[in-house]
Amino acid sequence: MGIVDKKHLKVAISDNDTADRAVPLSEIAFRAIRQKILRGEIVPGEKLRIEVLQREHSLSSSPLREALNRLVAEGLVTSDDHRGFRAANMSAADLNDITSYRLVIEPAALAQSVANGTDEWEGHVVAAFHRLDRIDAKIGQNQNELNDEWTLRHKDFHMALVSAAPSSRLVAACSSLFDQAERYRRFSLMNRTKPRNSGAEHRRLMEAAVGRQPELAAALLKEHIQLTAQNVLEIELPRAAR
């Protein structure tokens, strides 16, 4: 074993410590609880008790409450002054509500993005599609397997498509609705019985976008969103915990 340079070791430790402190505790809690909800580890309607979460995550109540309130804003958690926090229920009515908003907002944002996109935006879209396509190939036949990296790249691609829309509020609304639909998409993925070639759907979206065909891109996105909802509604949704 070589001699350790204490000066550089100290710097390395200091850098790592700084990196750890750079992520707020509320953000750590937000990510952890959100992932559990999306993966179904926290079931719809399950009560989210602060004292239990404190033990599970070794955090105080303040960052946990901040994280839960953020999840309320995302629609993944509900809050009641008398009953505390619960994971949001899943229902056909809720999915239809999310889908109806997505069908209005996301195609409009995409059409604007295509019309306003620069060459840099075009390269961003192609790169995001390429990253998603690569992991699609990696997953291969295990299409019913949850894959967190695929989930991240999937959202990255969809957000790249709308990123050139001139309204930042419109883009933010697309992001929020996409997240609210994610729990349903994951549930469908784990329970579907027929294959879906989402890779081909994404490729057509990418080609219409970089081909500067806003109407076609918007129409393809509507079909893409509607098919996701249709696939979910063919499956019995989980009952809420009591």
Nearest to 186 by CA among 132, 150, 135: 150
**Confidence (pTM):** 0.79
Q: How many helices (H) and strands (E) does the chain have?
A: 10, 3
Delimit the domains of the chain by residue range. 6-87, 92-233
Over residues 221-241, the pLDDT tens digits come to: 999 999 999 988 888 776 655
Alpha helices by DSSP H, 192-239: 198-210, 214-233
Tell me the mean pLDDT in the region 209-215: 97
Whole-number pLDDT of residue 240: 58
The domain made up of 6-87 has a fold known as Arc Repressor Mutant, subunit A (1.10.10)
pLDDT at 9 over 50: no
d(CA 117, CA 109): 11
Q: Which fold has domain 92-233?
A: Four Helix Bundle (Hemerythrin (Met), subunit A) (1.20.120)
Query: Residue 158 is encoded by which pair of tokens?
Result: 């969809």
Cβ of 73: how many Cβ atoms within 10 Å?
10
* Two structure tokens written together for 149: 């990296």
> pLDDT tens digits, residue range 139-181?
765 554 567 888 899 999 999 999 999 999 999 999 989 988 9
What pLDDT, on the 0 to 100 scale, is given for residue 13?
33
**Degrees, nearest 5: CA angle 129-133-136:** 140
- What pLDDT, in 10s, does the model give residues 44-59? 999 999 999 999 999 9
The pLDDT score that the predictor gives to residue 145 is 55
Asked if domains 6-87 and 92-233 share a fold, the reply is no
